[in-house]
Amino acid sequence: MTKKDILELKKRLNKTDCSITKLCGCYVDGNQNKVLTFSETFLNLDDEEFYKYLDLSRKCLSGTVGNNLLQLDFPAEEEAPGGRQQFLMGIKESGLKNEELLERFYDLVIEHYDFAGNYLILLFKDAYDVITKTNDGLKLDESEEVFDYLLCAICPVTLSKPGLGYREEENRIGARVRDWVVGAPDTGFIFPAFSDRSSDIHSLIYYIKDTKDSRPDFVEHVLGCGSKRTATEEQQIFSSIVKQALAPVRDDCEEVLLQLQESFQDITCPEEDEIYEEPEPVILTGELVDEVLAAHQIKGEAAQHIRDGISREFDAQPPVLQNLIDEKALEKNAKKKEEEQLRLQVQNLQKELAEKTFLSSGEEAASDDTSDDISAAASSDVVLRVRPEKAPLIKSEIIDGQKCLIIPVEEDEQVNVNGVDTIL
C-alpha cells in the first residue's frame, strides 16, 4: 500500500465519481446499548446527508501511511472458514443485506471498541472500476478490474456545546437546544486492502486518528489481524529506551536523542540523483544501531541497554527508520541552533562595532592633539613628540656653548625625525 493507492481511492469520494451503493449503521449509547440500526441506499440520500456521510468516509483515508493508515495482514487461521477474514468477506459479498452478519459485526465492535460515550458504526459498500494506466500514468478506457470493498467508520457522538440561541416558537433568546452530533471517525478500516492498484484480500487498510494508541484489542478481536504499532508509538518506545539507558550516566539525554534522530535523518535522505524517486524505506537493524551509537560515542552499559531494549521491543517487527524521527522536534532544534548562531553573530558584530568606535574616538583625539601641535608649531622653532613615559627623561645641557636637548635612546628603540626613520 502506497500513498498513491490511498489518494486514488480518496479522490473518488465526491458527488461526481462516488459509486457507493449501500450504507448501514448502528448508533450505540454510553452503556453499550444499540439505540438505532439503519440501512440506506446511498445515492438516494438527500444532498445534505449525502455530503456529510461522504465526508465521514473520506476521513478514513486521511493522514500518513504508516502512522494513521496501516496495512494489516490476516494470519492463515483467520482466512479459514469461521475466521475474521471470511466473516468480513461474507458481509462484503452480501452487499450489506445480510442482517444476521451485520448484527454480529455490530456486537463484535461493541464488545471490543473501548470508548466511554456514544458512537456511530457506519458501513459503506463501494465498487471501484479500476481503469488501466500506462507506464507513464496515462489512463486507458478499458477496466483493469473492479475493486469491490467495504469501508467502516466508527464515529464518536457528542453533545453540542451549550449556548444561547433564538427560540423561534417563543420569539426570544434562550438556552440553545443541545443536539447529539456525529464527529469525525477515530477508527475505521477498508477491506480488502487496495495495494498496487489491485485488491488484496489477505490484508486490510486500518485507520486510526489517535496515533498514540493503535487500539490493539480492536485490531486483534474485531479485525482478526496481528496488531501493528503506528510510527508515533514506535517513536515513543525508541525515545523511552534511549532516555532510560542514558539517564544514569548523562545529563543531556534529550540532546543525545535528537543527535541520534539527526543521524537517522541523514541516512534516510535520498541522494541528489534520486530526489525525484520515492526512496526505499530503511529498516532499523542491529548493525545500523551499532554504527550510530559508535558515531556518537555511546559505549558500555548504556549502549548495551539500548541494544537490548531495541531487540526486545522491535524483534518481531523492526521499525522503518523514518518512523523513529521526530521531525517537529528536529525542526524546533534546528531553529534553536539557528537562533543561537544569529545571537553569536550579533554579539560578534556588536564587539567589532565597539572596537571600531573606540579606535575612531582615539583617532579623533589624536587628530585634536595634532591640531594643537600645528598651532603650537606656528610659534615654535622646535616641535618634539615622544611617548608619555619618555618625557620625564628629557633634559637640557650646554654643550660647546650651545644649549641642547638630551633624549636618552635605548638600543632597541626606533627614532623618527620629521616622518623619516633615523638610525642613530
Ordered DSSP codes for 132-156 = EE-TTS-EEEEEEEEEEEEEEEEEE
Q: Does residue 279 have a cis peptide bond before it, meaning omega lies within 30 degrees of 0?
A: no
Alpha helices in 269-326 (DSSP H): 286-295, 300-314
**Which of 318, 239, 251, 234 shows the shortest CA–CA distance to 283?**
318
The yes-or-no verdict on residue 78 having pLDDT over 80 is yes
Residue 224: name the closest of 83, 105, 69, 93 by CA: 83
User: What mean pLDDT do residues 101-114 have?
Assistant: 96
Q: 10-43 pLDDT, tens per residue?
A: 988 888 888 899 999 999 999 999 999 999 999 8
* Residue 99: pLDDT over 70: yes
267: pLDDT strictly greater than 60: yes
Four-CA torsion 277, 283, 286, 287, nearest 10 degrees:
-10
* Cα 213 from Cα 150, distance rounded (Å): 23
pLDDT at 273 over 60: no
Q: What is the DSSP-derived secondary structure letter of residue 388?
A: G
Distance CA 157, CA 135 (A): 45
Residue range 137-145: average pLDDT? 64
Tens digits of per-residue pLDDT, 279-307? Answer: 678 889 889 999 999 999 898 899 999 99
Alpha carbon of 171 to those of 4, 165, 167, 168, 254: distances in Å? 54, 11, 6, 5, 61
Of all residues in the chain, the percent with pLDDT exceeding 70 is 88
Contact 71, 1 (CB under 8 A): yes
Q: Helix or strand or coil: residue 87? A: helix
Region of residue 419 (phi > 0: left; psi between -120 and 50: alpha; otherwise: beta): left
pTM of the predicted model as reported, rounded to 2 decimal places: 0.74
pLDDT tens for 333-391 read 888 888 989 999 998 888 888 777 766 655 555 555 555 555 555 556 677 777 777 77
- Report whether 318 contacts 283 (CB < 8 A): yes
d(CA 264, CA 330): 11
Residue pLDDT, tens place only, 354-367: 777 766 655 555 55
Average pLDDT, the chain: 86
Considering only residues 393 and 282, tell me which one the structure prediction assigns the higher pLDDT.
282
- Report residue 275's pLDDT band, with 50, 70 and 90 as the boundaries: very low
Closest to 67 in 3D by CA, of 205, 230, 226: 230
The one-letter amino acid code at 293 reads L
